[in-house]
A and B are shown apart, each in its own frame.
Chain A
Amino acid sequence: MRRRLRSSLLILAVAALMLGQGGNPLENARVRLLGDQLACLCGCGSSITSCNMLHCHISEPARQKLLSMVNAGRSDSEIFAAFVKEYGQRVLLKPPSEGFNLLGWLMPFIAIGAGLALVWWLIRRFRRPLAATAGPEPDPALMAQIEKDLDKLD
């Protein structure tokens, strides 16, 4: 009985300490890191770490929640999952790379790949010489000059 009382007192003390610690969650490096991946949905357009609206009704409780989860030793994915459960997918500033959203991540690279293929094809096409077009006979002096300049190039 006594032991149970003592342990509950201890738990209370720890909880009180965590609450009292409330000062500023942004002093915790991991809170800042995680908060930068989460959108502040108050309309400020910034992240939970960088929202600077005073007494913001979204970012301040969110930071406290982050701090308590970080102090409780939760993993990143657990923390993100908890935030998604509370606010929906749009709280993640970086959409998860799964399902349809995977396309969001891959598309820019697909575009670069397609662009590279296009440039490669163009270079090949442009390297085939044009059919000689009929024109006035070139001036021999000019031809000699070109020959000389071409030699100088290398």
Chain B
Amino acid sequence: MENLGALAILLAFCLAVFAVIGSVVGGWKRNEFLVISAQRAVYSIWLLVTVASGVLVSSLLASDFRFAYVAAHSNRAMPTLYKFAAWWGGQEGSLLLWSWLLASYAAVVVFTNRRKHRGIMPYVTATLMVTQCFFLILNAFVASPFQMLAVGRGITSVADGQGLNPLLQYPAMAIHPPMLYLGYVGFAVPFAFAIGSLITRQPGDAWIHTTRRWTLVTWLFQSSGIILGAGWAYAVLGWGGYWNWDAVENASFLPWVTATAFLHSVMMQEKKGMMKVWNMVLISGTFFLCIFGTFLTRSGVVSSVHAFAQSSIGQWFVGFLALTIAGTVYLILSRLDYLKTEARLESVVSRESSFMFNNLILLAAAFAILWGTLFPVISEAVTGEKITVGPPFFNRINIPIGLFLLFLTGVGPLFAWRRTSLESLRRNFQWPLLGGLVLVMGLFVAGMRHPYALMSFGLCLFVAWTISVEFYKGARAIHAKSGQNLLLAAVELTRRNTRRYGGYIVHLAIVLMFVGFTGSAFNKDTTIEVKVGDRFTLGHYEMKVVDLREGDNDNYSQSSALIEVWKDGQPLGTMAPERRFYKASRQGTSEVAIRRRLNEDLYLNFAGKSDDEQRAVIQAFVFPLVSWIWLGFWLLALGTLICLVPSKVRFEFARLPAVRVTQKYAATVKK
């Protein structure tokens, strides 16, 4: 079995090398036979990596502890779901998952484009396969999941494995890594098309049209991965934090930020033929940040709760990154002529310049996060002393940047393309702006003094208002024509231009998330040692400990508390926070009890026993508005899916002829 897995990886590596050479030579010499042969190799690679993954997964399910990986990341008593999830529970397995996802994406790309884009496809295949080669090298030679323990030769038998990290034995956590990897790996596809388009000197932006859906789907995966991680941290770590600016969290956030910038700036290229170089830089940067994020998780360069065991694997990543970055920079520089802008900016007050600001601010946020993540390494190299860059640093720098972005979310879409008159600005903004100001004053009078919270709530209302007005205006126009009621008219409006209104829905989702983030300024908590019959209070809540219990099963032992809860004298029922101790890994985890409501969550954590073992230590938290974050995510997913649906009305931008006419027009006016 183990030999089958290792052999499959080796064969896949050989085929990947062939696929690179075959497609490059085939594309260059216009040898269709070689190109097609290379594409068949892509399918075979998928099959081989699937076989290797199958071997690993089946040995995990069968608890075959001769495999070093299985012994280190699973144990017999683990539920089947988590035995399967152990595939990505450790370094070697998760790298194999990377390879498998990439092989799957590559196979889908090759299949769906088998009759399209014949010119650039060989180079797209080659780019994907270079990446595939790199990961297969890691799978085969650096971090092989098929290393065997010397059972029968020295070791007689391995009775049980060490078990999966218990923090990972949680449903959201089981799907968080694959979601994130689907995002990380997915950005390889638009990157590959960009490189293909550069190599073949494509004049237009076919690569953008082709990969728009890929990019959106990948972006949605990345968003889901990040939010699942946040939701998991909130429900599992026991202190209700969902984002800690940990190095690896930052690493997953960085490509998301640059991809968001990309999704916006491609519109400049599609509609105006501007910012072509920039889009190349953005999509390449996003891909490199994906590789970089994988590198940070695995190399132990920065300390992080997510990091896998320290290893020398980092050098391989550094080498791969250096080579690919150098190659991409060379390609972009040598093809600047093909990336010339086709249009001019007519006014500073226009949609065009608002896109530039949006990109600037997103990139500034990405840079600040990257800088803060790497600064401990830089500083230690320069001064020789270890320092920490933690949440206070990131919050101080990123909260103002985030608020400015929120402001742009409201303002940007209302600027017209080309130029916007002051009169239309006044018309669009006066009421939402006034509404936001009134809200801020109202909250201030009501006693809220937190400056950022006040700004954030004001901006949230402002942005939500401008978006609602956009929907209302469009829906009213349809209502006037067709007589549909306003709600149906809004649906019709969205169906006519899914990209635009889907985008607005995503913006609205971001607003909901900001409301949730802002709620954290008003968190409350208390820690208390209690015995049965004790009462304690937190804010409006009163709690009474009814019972303390102990339990035990094969996988873990547990202690739990049964707590009766009242709010302002009204009974709310009982909650049962629990503490588990996993036997195989000898680690403890919290199973918190959360009462989720839109206005606030009540969150109880069984932190442990007092020194004399007689009393329970209970941590109680109130988290205002935190549910809005998760609600925002669902809306974000809906908005993104709407963007993927083709619009009912086809918008023809007929950009090139129109641009030439305007140029001619500009010239005649000048004379």
A123 pairs with B367, CB closer than 8 A: no
Contact of A132 with B by CB under 8 A = yes
Chain B residues with CB under 8 A of A122: 356
Contact of A1 with B by CB under 8 A = no
Contact of B527 with A by CB under 8 A = yes
B605 pairs with A123, CB closer than 8 A: no
B344 pairs with A47, CB closer than 8 A: no
* Stretch of B43-51, B109-117, B312-320, B392-400 at the chain-chain interface: B392-400
A138 pairs with B665, CB closer than 8 A: yes
Contact among A37, A39, A88, A138 with B661 in the assembled complex (CB-CB below 8 Å): A138
A126 pairs with B341, CB closer than 8 A: yes
Do A143 and B663 form a contact, CB below 8 Å, given A55-B608, A126-B341? no
B360 pairs with A89, CB closer than 8 A: no
Chain B residues with CB under 8 A of A39: 388, 390
Contact of B62 with A by CB under 8 A = no
Q: Name A24's closest neighbour in chain B (CB-CB).
A: B527
B393 pairs with A94, CB closer than 8 A: yes
Chain B residues with CB under 8 A of A93: 388-393
Report the Cα distance A44→B304, complex, angstroms. Answer: 9
A94 pairs with B396, CB closer than 8 A: yes
Contact among B239, B356, B607 with A123 in the assembled complex (CB-CB below 8 Å): B356
* Stretch of A2-10, A64-72, A73-81, A98-106 at the chain-chain interface: A98-106
Do A130 and B663 form a contact, CB below 8 Å, given A95-B375, A104-B379? yes
Chain B residues with CB under 8 A of A92: 387-388
Interface size on A, residues (CB 8 A): 52
Do A133 and B660 form a contact, CB below 8 Å, given A93-B388, A94-B396, A127-B344? yes
Chain A residues with CB under 8 A of B617: 54
A52 pairs with B619, CB closer than 8 A: yes
B392 pairs with A119, CB closer than 8 A: no
Do A133 and B663 form a contact, CB below 8 Å, given A52-B239, A100-B379, A154-B421? yes
Measured CB to CB, the closest approach of chain B to A49, in angstroms, equals: 9
Report the Cα distance A116→B526, complex, angstroms. Answer: 45
The B-contacting residues of A in range 35-75, CB under 8 angstroms, are 36-37, 39, 43-47, 50, 52, 54-55
Chain B residues with CB under 8 A of A119: 353, 356-357, 360
Contact of A20 with B by CB under 8 A = no
Q: Name A154's closest neighbour in chain B (CB-CB).
A: B421
Report the Cα distance A5→B306, complex, angstroms. Answer: 57
A89 pairs with B392, CB closer than 8 A: no
Report the Cα distance A50→B241, complex, angstroms. Answer: 9
Measured CB to CB, the closest approach of chain A to B533, in angstroms, equals: 19
Chain A residues with CB under 8 A of B352: 126
B344 pairs with A108, CB closer than 8 A: no
Chain B residues with CB under 8 A of A91: 388
B371 pairs with A104, CB closer than 8 A: yes
Contact among B344, B421, B527 with A128 in the assembled complex (CB-CB below 8 Å): B344
Contact among B246, B363, B376, B385 with A88 in the assembled complex (CB-CB below 8 Å): B385
Report the Cα distance A88→B527, complex, angstroms. Answer: 29
Report the Cα distance A43→B246, complex, angstroms. Answer: 12
Contact among A45, A89, A118 with B387 in the assembled complex (CB-CB below 8 Å): A89
Contact of B664 with A by CB under 8 A = yes
Contact of A19 with B by CB under 8 A = no
B379 pairs with A95, CB closer than 8 A: yes
Contact among B367, B383, B396 with A99 in the assembled complex (CB-CB below 8 Å): B383
Measured CB to CB, the closest approach of chain A to B101, in angstroms, equals: 27
Chain B residues with CB under 8 A of A95: 375, 379, 387-389, 393
A154 pairs with B423, CB closer than 8 A: yes
Measured CB to CB, the closest approach of chain B to A91, in angstroms, equals: 7
The B-contacting residues of A in range 11-49, CB under 8 angstroms, are 24, 26-27, 36-37, 39, 43-47
Contact of B346 with A by CB under 8 A = yes
B392 pairs with A36, CB closer than 8 A: yes
Measured CB to CB, the closest approach of chain A to B237, in angstroms, equals: 7
B360 pairs with A116, CB closer than 8 A: yes
Contact of B305 with A by CB under 8 A = yes
A45 pairs with B661, CB closer than 8 A: no
B344 pairs with A111, CB closer than 8 A: no
Report the Cα distance A95→B387, complex, angstroms. Answer: 7
Report the Cα distance A12→B662, complex, angstroms. Answer: 89
A104 pairs with B372, CB closer than 8 A: yes
Interface core residue of B246, B392, B609, B619 (most chain A CB under 10 Å): B392
B364 pairs with A104, CB closer than 8 A: no
Contact of A146 with B by CB under 8 A = yes
Chain B residues with CB under 8 A of A90: 376, 385-388
Contact of B267 with A by CB under 8 A = no
Q: Name B248's closest neighbour in chain A (CB-CB).
A: A45
B341 pairs with A46, CB closer than 8 A: no
Chain B residues with CB under 8 A of A104: 371-372, 375, 379, 389, 393
The B-contacting residues of A in range 130-154, CB under 8 angstroms, are 130, 132-133, 135, 138, 142-143, 146, 153-154
Do A132 and B667 form a contact, CB below 8 Å, given A107-B371, A154-B421? yes
Report the Cα distance A138→B663, complex, angstroms. Answer: 10
Contact among A26, A54, A115, A138 with B664 in the assembled complex (CB-CB below 8 Å): A138
B664 pairs with A153, CB closer than 8 A: no
Contact among A94, A105, A127, A146 with B345 in the assembled complex (CB-CB below 8 Å): A127
Chain B residues with CB under 8 A of A89: 385-388
Contact of B348 with A by CB under 8 A = yes
Measured CB to CB, the closest approach of chain A to B438, in angstroms, equals: 30
Report the Cα distance A103→B158, complex, angstroms. Answer: 52
Q: Name A93's closest neighbour in chain B (CB-CB).
A: B390
Contact of B17 with A by CB under 8 A = no
Chain B residues with CB under 8 A of A154: 421, 423-424
Report the Cα distance A112→B526, complex, angstroms. Answer: 40
Per-position contact with A for B515-527: 1 when CB-CB < 8 Å, else 0?
0000000000011
A127 pairs with B346, CB closer than 8 A: yes
A44 pairs with B305, CB closer than 8 A: yes
A88 pairs with B386, CB closer than 8 A: yes
Q: Name A92's closest neighbour in chain B (CB-CB).
A: B388
Report the Cα distance A126→B347, complex, angstroms. Answer: 10
Do A111 and B364 form a contact, CB below 8 Å, given A45-B244, A95-B387, A129-B670? yes
Q: List 28 A-B contacts (CB under 8 A).
A: A52-B238, A52-B607, A88-B385, A89-B388, A90-B388, A93-B392, A95-B375, A95-B387, A99-B383, A100-B383, A101-B383, A111-B367, A115-B363, A115-B364, A119-B360, A123-B345, A126-B341, A129-B344, A129-B666, A130-B343, A130-B666, A133-B663, A135-B663, A135-B664, A138-B661, A143-B665, A146-B665, A153-B418
Shortest beta-carbon contacts, A-B, top 6: A93-B390, A132-B667, A54-B608, A108-B368, A126-B345, A94-B392
Q: Which residues of A contact B (CB under 8 A)?
A: 24, 26-27, 36-37, 39, 43-47, 50, 52, 54-55, 88-95, 99-101, 104-105, 107-108, 111-112, 115-116, 118-119, 122-123, 126-130, 132-133, 135, 138, 142-143, 146, 153-154
Q: Which residues of B contact A (CB under 8 A)?
A: 237-239, 241, 244, 246, 274, 303-305, 341, 343-346, 348, 352-353, 356-357, 360, 363-364, 367-368, 371-372, 375-376, 379, 382-383, 385-393, 396-397, 416, 418-419, 421, 423-424, 526-528, 588, 590, 605, 607-609, 617, 619, 660-667, 670
